[in-house]
Amino acid sequence: MTYIVTGAAGFVGANVVKALNARGITQIIAVDDLTQGDRFANLVDCVIEDYLDKDEFLAALGKGAFNGAVTAVLHQGACSDTTESNGRYMMQNNYRYSRTLLDFCAAQKAPFIYASSAAVYGDSTDFRESPECEKPLNVYGYSKYLFDQHVRRHRHGAQVVGLRYFNVYGPREQHKGRMASVAYHFFHQYQKAGKVRLFEGSGGYGNGEQRRDFVSVEDVVKVNLYFLDNHLKTGIYNCGTGAAQSFNDVAVAAINACRKARGEGQLALGAMQAEGLIEYIPFPQDLKGKYQSYTQADLSGLRAAGYTDNFLSVEQGVTRYCEALAAPA
């Protein structure tokens, strides 16, 4: 039987493929759009049965090529650019594509595990998987919100799990450019310029003190595999650590990982600020009213579904990630 992973050459998708390989699973159809060709690098060390372009895959799906042959679909493919203004493109790529895959899995009675997003919460301060908490601020968040609402309204006859990813960081995100995690950007800023840049205060928070739920892709993959192993579990769940930390915390972890790699001593935030290793830049005008200054996953639903593993903190996960980035190739 075959596993289908969409967005397989992307950040989370490639990590999911690698994790399936670690289990000895190689019957994987990797689906993506390699218009941005450099993303192929995420799959070089993975073993797959076949690669299909997204359009080629949808055509094959419509012709019944995968009927009776799919163990599960792990749908990680999406446009995740929160600043994308083309709503038509966003809804076709994120909403309609997801509907097509959901309908296929329902008909085949195959598990469907998909990537939702904490962007559905927008400027809410209550991060529970409940409609009254959902207030998307951009069309990306709306595309995820609308599909979640569709999932809630219908019975599907098979497992359907939506995972609302918070701020994910980790290996295989190098292709994302400006949409890569702040951990990735802080690491490269420090390596290049000897300092990192954070936003000045906003939303009632001081310089660099805006707080997000930063979650390692290692943990995101573990949650995906948990539901893959527990086919009777269904629903929409937050996928974050449950503990908001500041951008300053991420900067400190990234800088100290770089310093350790150079044989330099560790510094606290105050010392970094005093030495000019952290620079605070004006908050962008185009992000005002569209920026989440605080997110923190409510994990009550995930824990009630039986997921008991601990999540990596910024100090643990960002340090591990940046040490790996700093290691000789």
Q: What are phi and psi of 183, to 5 degrees?
A: -60, -45
Residues of the chain by 3-state class (helix, strand, coil), percent to 5 = 45, 20, 40
**Directed axis angle between helix 247-261 and helix 314-326, to 10°?**
40
C-alpha 145, offset from chain centre: 15
Residue 176 annotated among the catalytic residues of the structure: yes
Q: Which residues contact 296 (CB under 8 A, 6 or more apart)?
A: 127, 211, 213, 240, 242, 243, 244
Q: DSSP of 149-210, one letter per residue?
A: HHHHH---SS-EEEEEE-EEE-SS-GGGGGGS-HHHHHHHHHHHHSSEEEEPPBTTB-TT--
Q: Are strands 278-281 and 196-199 parallel, antiparallel or unpaired?
A: parallel
* Catalytic position from the list 95, 140, 145, 226: 140
* Catalytic position from the list 176, 195, 260, 290: 176
Q: Which residue has the tokens 């739920």?
A: 213
Residue 195 annotated among the catalytic residues of the structure: no
Handedness of CA 114, 131, 126, 88 (dihedral sign): positive
Find the angle CA(121)-CA(232)-CA(243) to the nearest 5 degrees.
35
Residues classed as catalytic? 140, 176
